[in-house]
Amino acid sequence: MKNELPILLVEDDKVDQMTVKRILKQLNADNPITIKQNGLEALEYLNDPANDKPGLILLDLNMPKMNGIEFLKEVKKKLPLKLIPIVVMTTSREEQDRLDSFGHSAAGYMVKPVQYRHFLQVMETVYNYWLLSESAVA
């Protein structure tokens, strides 16, 4: 079941990491959460056969070493990684970032709200949609 699959959060901002974890707990999400600081760390994690593959990846765009767009390009090149839904969660309102994200098969693009209540609503929508949607990853 999806509510037992790990969620991979690729986010370098500690406050945003804590906020996402807090919101998922508030939503009674039982999914284990793995946090990686940048795309390179996340890619290494995904390519390690000892690690459980996540059912969902929440991805920031602006990170050091390997940004979110570079990460999307790499992940979407190979099976079974390309089947994992990736939702971009970023502060960027740049049209090119949105187009690049969808151009590299992001499942969604959400601008992170500043207010906690709005962030909660966005996360609740993303999480519930993921739980309800049919996907290639069970």
| 138 within some domain | no
**pLDDT tens-digit readout, 48-69:** 999 999 999 999 999 999 999 9
**pLDDT tens-digit readout, 77-102:** 988 899 999 999 999 899 999 999 99
Q: What is the pLDDT of residue 57?
A: 97
Q: What is the pLDDT of residue 4?
A: 81
| Antiparallel, parallel or unpaired: β 33-36 and 86-90 | unpaired
Q: Taking the complete model, does pTM exceed 0.85, yes or no? A: yes
pLDDT at 45 over 70: yes
Separation between Cα atoms, residue 61 and residue 97, nearest integer Å: 8
Q: Return the sign of the alpha-carbon dihedral for residues 119, 125, 127, 130.
A: negative
Domain containing 62 — which CATH number?
3.40.50.2300
Are 60 and 32 in contact by the 8 Å Cβ rule? The answer is no
Q: Which pLDDT band holds residue 1 (cuts at 50, 70, 90)?
A: low
What is the number of structural domains in the chain?
1
